[in-house]
Amino acid sequence: MDLLLTGGAVFLDGCFQNLDVAVSNGRIVSVSRSLPKEGFSVIELHNRCLVPGFVDVHVHLREPGFSYKETVFSGTAAAAAGGYTAVCAMPNLNPVPDSLERLQAQLDIIRRDAKVRVYPYGAITRDERGESLADLSTLAPHVPGFSDDGRGVQSESVMRRAMALAKELNRPIAAHCEDESVLQKGWAVHDGNFARTHGLPGNDPASEWRQVERDLRLVEETGCRYHVCHVSTKESVALIRAAKAAGLPVTCETGPHYLILCDEDLLDEGRFKMNPPIRSAADRDALLEGLLDGTVDCIATDHAPHSAEEKSRGLRGSLNGVVGLECAFPVLYTELVKTGIVPFETILNALCVNPRKIFGLPGGRIEAGQIADLTVLDLNRPGVIDSGSFRSLGRATPFDGWGVSAAVALTLCGGEIVYHNLQNPEEVKP
């Protein structure tokens, strides 16, 4: 379908401009003022914002191996509804994609069922056990990077070898940083006031930042591109800021829940249980400062669906992981942009632009010749986050029931409409 998106505010070169965008054969063919409408199906944007499709570099699609939690079809439908046109899928699956043969099972499902672009990570180590390296060389042409997400690589020598080989292969390591030697067994929440007040075992923030510190030393040795997953502590932010200042090839992400919540907001419900845990107000403030000064590059949801039963056991007994694809943008805009805490452009760079730069993914600019992966945002659409209406099989989000002031109105992937939430049918004119 040839489309003309007209009357919108287009995010281009860090600011919004009143432009029309024409799409044909999956690509943007023209960006200009007042394009002719003949030959196009016209979508009237009525001053809504048109931005490059969001990219989430950290999602769990659970397939193959755990399709009762999520499938590629349901997870990418959720992504489309959240404005995402591309996601990077984590490798804690069955089988773990630690060889090309094992990765192929996942690629076949993606090819068959995905509604948006899916870029699967390859594992760093075999079966994510941290003992011997996965087949990084054969995986490299098919993956955006390597990760053992869900577990930190405990062995320094193994991580050093992984980084050296990843450097040769020109692929980043996306590290789940967790030093298990300083973790309290059966931890439930951040080791802070909430844990002490409620008699819960706490997760020491050193379990994260100590492994970040170790890995940054290895980056200095090897020159490997290194991306820190789901940063949650003020110490990690400081370490990454210093590493960037020293010129190391380091990037990082954090999640909406770490930017907006702290442990004072916790309820004893499974929808507040994730790894790393929601931490202190000081940690949250340091993450916000890092987002504002460029230390934090990306906002990634760490979308990690589980069954209702697995999330029904409170903070102590529920499995780690919350969902976020369908509520990330409305919550971020309402809580951070509309309140004046974070500029809108900063949020968009963290969702649209920086993830593509870091992982070498296509798109990210609204200009002729680019793939037509586009998202339309309605900044004046009051609503309530309702997990019961999610397309994801997962329902556990700490933001359930929150009032929001914005919504995703339309998502195009490769020029095809993969999500449609325009208020009036007449806004699309054939």
**Residues tagged active-site:** 302
Report how far residue 322's alpha carbon sits from residue 335's, in angstroms, rounded to the nearest whole number.
19
In this structure, which long-range contacts are made by residues 331-335, counting pairs with CB atoms below 8 Å and at least 24 apart in sequence?
331/256, 331/260, 331/385, 331/399, 331/402, 331/404, 332/256, 332/259, 332/260, 332/299, 333/377, 333/379, 333/404, 333/405, 333/406, 334/402, 334/403, 334/404, 334/405, 334/406, 335/260
Residue with tokens 């973790």: 183
Task: Order across the sheet with 54-59: list the strands.
Answer: 54-59, 84-89, 117-120
Report how far residue 334's alpha carbon sits from residue 272's, in angstroms, rounded to the nearest whole number.
20
Total length of the chain:
430
Write phi, then psi, for 247 (nearest 5 degrees): 85, 15
Write phi, then psi, for 178 (nearest 5 degrees): -155, 110
The answer to whether 396 and 311 have CB atoms below 8 angstroms apart is yes
Integer-rounded Cα radius of gyration of the chain? 21
Looking at residue 53, what DSSP letter applies? P
- Pull the structure tokens for residue 345: 């452009």
Closest alpha carbon to 350 in 59, 57, 133, 42? 57
- Pull the structure tokens for residue 230: 């789901």
342 contact partners, CB below 8 Å, separation of at least 6: 288, 291, 292, 336
Measured over the CA atoms of residue 406, residue 409, residue 412 and residue 413, the dihedral's sign is positive
The answer to whether 391 and 398 have CB atoms below 8 angstroms apart is no
The answer to whether 125 and 403 have CB atoms below 8 angstroms apart is no
Strands 15-24 and 27-32: what pairing?
antiparallel
Strands 49-52 and 84-89: what pairing?
unpaired
Residue with tokens 């591309």: 86
Say how many CA atoms lie within 13 Å of 160 toward its Cβ.
Answer: 8
